[in-house]
DNA sequence: CCAAGTTAGTTGCACAGAACAACGAAGTAT
DNA sequence: ATACTTCGTTGTTCTGTGCAACTAACTTGG
């Protein structure tokens, strides 16, 4: 096994990481897109991403986090690998391009993604538009659709991504958050029953959210591994 | 965007594809392993795999299929991407190794995986053993565990992988097939109800499987896209 | 020929989870 | 005080699933 299959005998693909950051803008699920400053696809919108740096990165997860930090000015622990895509025609800059795609969910209003290195502009765009792929660079429309599907599947199972939940919240707030992420209404009693059965949240003793109406009990995430 | 992020400016990882082929040997779910002929991990068992060839492959799916053909002498259309893993210490032959892992399911008894190029020996091994990772090269124990989990999830949803279903079958045969893949018994009436509700199979008019007991209606997969 | 055994295929029932609907409770606004 | 909103709970219904029983059809062993 020292003939082929050995490093450096074959040319390797241009390897990048792309990050699909989802977040709520108002009621709607949006995705964070970067306007490409240079060719290819100059002026078009694409997922923010960057090249793998084998001198810096100790794993793919680590690389994705670095790219997110550099490009978006965000250092969030919640990144999940979505898929990998590759081919000779994906990126005209290289004879063969491979992208490992990650996804994340953040509270869009709590972060200010400063446009990082080499990004002309950053903008939230509704996933309903972006998923059609209209005007997006590369195959990023398809990738966004996959990220949304996978994320909504997580939410359906009440597997809430970190980075989206506040420290404390009322059950009503949690429900409307999920509803906006899913894009559909949920049943109040079922939602609460599931939360209680699976012990996903616990009430903060004596803490109430007061406002215009009846005060609501404040909850927080229950720590799984004490 | 012509400075960094551009091909050939950074060194790229040694990129390979690994194939987790699952199949039934007797009643038990097994995985196809290759004995490594050379260092690293010489003599140990590993998932069959091979380097990405950017001069031959038109996509990752295509590359996985080529590797499967070359290494195992199998040309099966059913391959699903599982995940990608990478890091500087995964493979001592390269400063940074990236593996894109695919999974497949085949009827173990219907194929004779001829040991292909550069493989000393091929053998089926029960996943129960392999998943513990004992004695496996690289991080392949973990990868096998993931492939089994993902495949069983497919079967639970009755999303039967191609390559495992015969052209025609009785409902009893289909059920025992699923039971062996899942490693647990299923309820007959629930199983049939689900098949009927979702219109996954259709009876072949007049075709019966006769044998030692009462003859059984023969079914076939319903074609989704006519 | 008959009884026993095995698999095929269906039916009824119990239970769990979820959707749907309604209700009282507790606050604010007018 | 009354209307209105959100909170929180409690029923009722519906659906899907698991469990069990039953009949049907065939082979095999006496």
Q: What's the pLDDT tens digit per position in B176-218?
A: 999 999 999 999 999 999 999 999 999 999 889 998 899 999 9
Which structure tokens are listed for A160?
Answer: 């809430």
Does the structural domain B169-221 have CATH classification 2.40.10.10?
Answer: no
How far, in Å, CA of B82 to CA of B151, rounded? 10
The residues with which A122 forms a beta bridge, in sequence order, are A34
* Mean pLDDT on B79-94: 94
Contact A10/B53, CB-based, under 8 Å? Answer: yes
- Between A and B, how many residue pairs show a Cβ–Cβ distance under 8 A? 128
More confident residue, B151 or A115: B151
Q: Which residue in the block uniquely carries the two structure tokens 């290494």?
A: B71
Average pLDDT, chain B: 89
SS3 call for A193: helix
Q: What is the pLDDT of residue A4?
A: 46
Shared fold status for A14-156 and A168-221: no
Q: What is the pLDDT of residue A5?
A: 46
- B93: nearest Cα among B144, B38, B48, B53: B38
Q: Which residue in the block uniquely carries the two structure tokens 């290289």?
A: A94
Cβ of residue A12 closer than 8 Å to a chain B Cβ: yes
Q: What is the pLDDT of residue A22?
A: 95
Could you say which of A2, A53, A58 has the minimum Cβ distance to residue B38? A2
Rounded to whole angstroms, the distance from the CA of residue B5 to the C1' of nucleotide D16 is: 52
- A20: nearest Cα among A172, A145, A184, A190: A145
Contact B60/A14, CB-based, under 8 Å? Answer: no
Could you say which of B12, B60, B95 has the minimum Cβ distance to residue A14? B12
**Contact, A102 vs A82, CB < 8 A?**
yes
Mean pLDDT by 10 residues, chain A (226 residues): 54 96 93 85 89 97 95 86 95 93 87 62 90 80 95 96 92 97 97 96 93 95 75
B interface test, pick of A4, A6, A7 with most B CB neighbours within 10 Å = A7
Q: Which residue in the block uniquely carries the two structure tokens 């199972």?
A: A157
The helix (H) or strand (E) run that includes residue A142 is: helix A140-156
Q: Please tell me the distance in Å from A25's CA to the nearest CA on chain B.
A: 28
- A56: nearest Cα among B26, B95, B15, B186: B95
Which structure tokens are listed for A76?
Answer: 């969030």
Which structure tokens are listed for B77?
Answer: 């259309």
CATH number of A14-156: 3.90.79.10
CATH number of A168-221: 1.10.10.10
Residue ranges per domain, chain A?
A: 14-156, 168-221
Contacts of B71 in chain A (CB under 8 A): none
Could you say which of A2, A15, A86 has the minimum Cβ distance to residue B13? A15
Residue B224 in this model has a pLDDT that exceeds 80: no
Contact A6/B36, CB-based, under 8 Å? Answer: no
């Amino acid at each position: 096994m020292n003939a082929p299959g050995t490093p450096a005998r074959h040319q390797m693909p241009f390897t990048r990481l792309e990050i699909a950051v989802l977040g709520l803008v108002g009621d709607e699920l949006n995705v964070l897109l970067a306007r490409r400053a240079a060719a290819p696809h100059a002026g078009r919108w694409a997922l923010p991403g960057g090249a793998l740096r084998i001198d810096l990165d100790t794993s793919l997860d680590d690389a994705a986090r670095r790219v997110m930090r550099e490009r978006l000015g965000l250092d969030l622990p919640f990144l999940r690998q979505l898929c990998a895509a590759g081919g000779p025609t994906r990126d005209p800059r290289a004879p063969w391009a491979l992208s490992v795609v990650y996804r994340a969910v953040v509270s869009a209003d709590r972060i200010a993604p400063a446009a990082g290195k080499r990004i002309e502009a950053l903008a939230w765009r509704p996933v309903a538009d972006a998923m059609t792929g209209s005007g997006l660079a590369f195959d990023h429309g398809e990738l966004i659709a996959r990220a949304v599907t996978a994320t909504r599947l997580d939410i359906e199972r009440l597997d809430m991504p970190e980075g989206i939940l506040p420290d404390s919240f009322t059950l009503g707030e949690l429900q409307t958050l999920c509803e906006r992420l899913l894009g559909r209404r949920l049943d109040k009693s079922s939602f609460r029953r599931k939360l209680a059965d699976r012990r996903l949240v616990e009430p903060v003793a004596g803490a109430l959210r007061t406002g215009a109406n009846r005060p609501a009990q404040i909850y927080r995430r229950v720590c799984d591994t004490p």
